[in-house]
Amino acid sequence: MLKLGVLASGRGSNFQAIIDEIEKKKLQASVELLITDNPDAYAIERAKKHNIRHLYINPKESASRDDFFKKIADELKSKGVELVILAGFMRVVKKPLIDAFPNRIMNIHPALLPAFPGLHGQKQAVDYGAKISGCTVHFVDEGMDTGPVIIQAAVPVLPDDTEDTLSERILSFEHKIFPEAIRLFSEGRLEVKGRKVLIKDYPAISSNIVNPPYRA
């Protein structure tokens, strides 16, 4: 069973979606630890409800950002974590954590990367006049939403959309594709080759999901 570590800063709705899939036995994984940089994050309440260990690490108590991420890496490794999940973690991950978990950190971003990286991807899409947006699960590297793409879901941008309405539409697909990406990892079906993530035995087209055209 795949051992997960989750980092979250806020409400943790993607964290909840992952918990739900695990409890439905649709995802063969366990959450070993939730780490948050915010003592008021609602994700902590979700962890408590499901008897998941949780830990607050105060970034202000670290000498540097690298030191902060080394503390996180050490805690995750001490729990035997195999895959790190960023579920609304509002910090750019630094080298100590990336080096500790190479190609084993996943993030979800509310846009079709490489379009609209960074904060407020939904607002960027609305303001730009995009007709299609969506969400992307990717492996994390040292850039801002620049790691290799694993899976994406496409969502229409409607003429009267606001940031909030588009965010809500995208979020429903985030809750589908994040657990799916974790499932593929748990089954050993992901292979990273440069910027491409090969997916073994995956259909070319899946309903409402835009898959990378790279299959092993």
**216 found inside a domain:** no
Name, in order, each residue with C-beta under 8 angstroms of 172's C-beta and a sequence gap of 6 or more.
none
pLDDT (tens digit, 0 to 9) for every residue of the chain, 216 residues total?
A: 999 999 999 999 999 999 999 999 999 999 999 999 999 999 999 999 999 999 999 999 999 999 999 999 999 999 999 999 999 999 999 999 999 999 999 999 999 999 999 999 999 999 999 999 999 999 999 888 899 999 999 999 999 999 999 999 999 999 999 999 999 999 999 999 989 999 988 765 444 444 444 444
Q: Can you tell me the distance from the alpha carbon of 167 to that of 188, in angstroms, rounded to the nearest whole number?
A: 31
pLDDT of residue 212: 44
Q: Considering 54, 109, 138, 175, which one is annotated as catalytic?
A: 109
Give me the residue label for tokens 């035997």.
80
Q: Can you tell me whether residue 78 is helix, strand or coil?
A: helix
Q: Can you tell me whether residue 107 is helix, strand or coil?
A: strand
Which token pair is 8?
């979250």
Q: Give me the CATH number covering residue 75.
A: 3.40.50.170
Burial class (CB in 10 A: 0-12, 13-18, 19+), 192: middle
**215 found inside a domain:** no
pLDDT of residue 203: 67
pTM greater than the 0.85 cutoff: yes
**19 found inside a domain:** yes
Domains held by the chain: number: 1
**104 found inside a domain:** yes
Does the annotation mark 54 as catalytic?
no
pLDDT of residue 201: 82
Which token pair is 178?
């994040």
CA distances from 117 to 75, 104, 113, 125, 136 (A): 29, 20, 7, 10, 10
CA distances from 111 to 8, 32, 62, 116 (A): 19, 29, 32, 6
Is 210:111 a contact under the CB 8 Å cutoff?
Answer: no
**Domain containing residue 146:** 2-210
CA angle in degrees (0–180, nearest 5) for 95-100-101: 100
